[in-house]
Amino acid sequence: MKTSSDPAEAKRIDKPTAWACLAANLFTVPGVGTVAAGRKIGYLQAALGLVGFGLSVLGFVGILRDWGETGGQPEGMTPSLWVGVAGICLWGASWLWALASSLRLHRQAREEAKKTP
């Protein structure tokens, strides 16, 4: 059975490309570097990161709305705060996943460098 994320069929990565993919994963949208390396799982990482970012913004806007309605900082865990925290957690999970993918790319680049004379 053939799968799209089969490591045997993944394109070969050299060290400079692995560094570029790491930078793309950590400093832009998580998953972009993984996609650039030819791994389709990066699309899922990017989707998770974008959903997390969107929820974070939605939560922040909700907190500002709550603050404006009450005239002060709302007490307790409001629904807007929960949405924002959930978004931050989703984005953080996608960032860590992209970091793990980048480290895997570095390991593969190191192994490829050892194979070639």
Digit-by-digit pLDDT tens for the chain (117 residues) are 444 555 555 678 899 999 999 999 999 999 999 999 999 999 999 999 999 999 999 999 999 998 988 888 878 888 999 999 999 999 999 999 999 999 999 999 998 888 876
- Look at residue 36 and tell me if it is in a domain: yes
| Residue 52 burial (C-beta neighbours within 10 Å; 0-12, 13-18, 19+) | buried
- Lookup: tokens for 51: 């959903």
- Look at residue 116 and tell me if it is in a domain: no
Residue 33 falls in which region: left (phi positive, over 0), alpha (psi -120 to 50) or beta: alpha
| Count: domains in the chain | 1
**Whole-model pTM over 0.85:** no
Enumerate residues 6+ apart whose C-beta is below 8 A from 49: 29, 30, 31, 90, 91, 94, 95, 98
- Look at residue 7 and tell me if it is in a domain: no
Task: Residue 30: give the domain boundaries.
Answer: 13-110
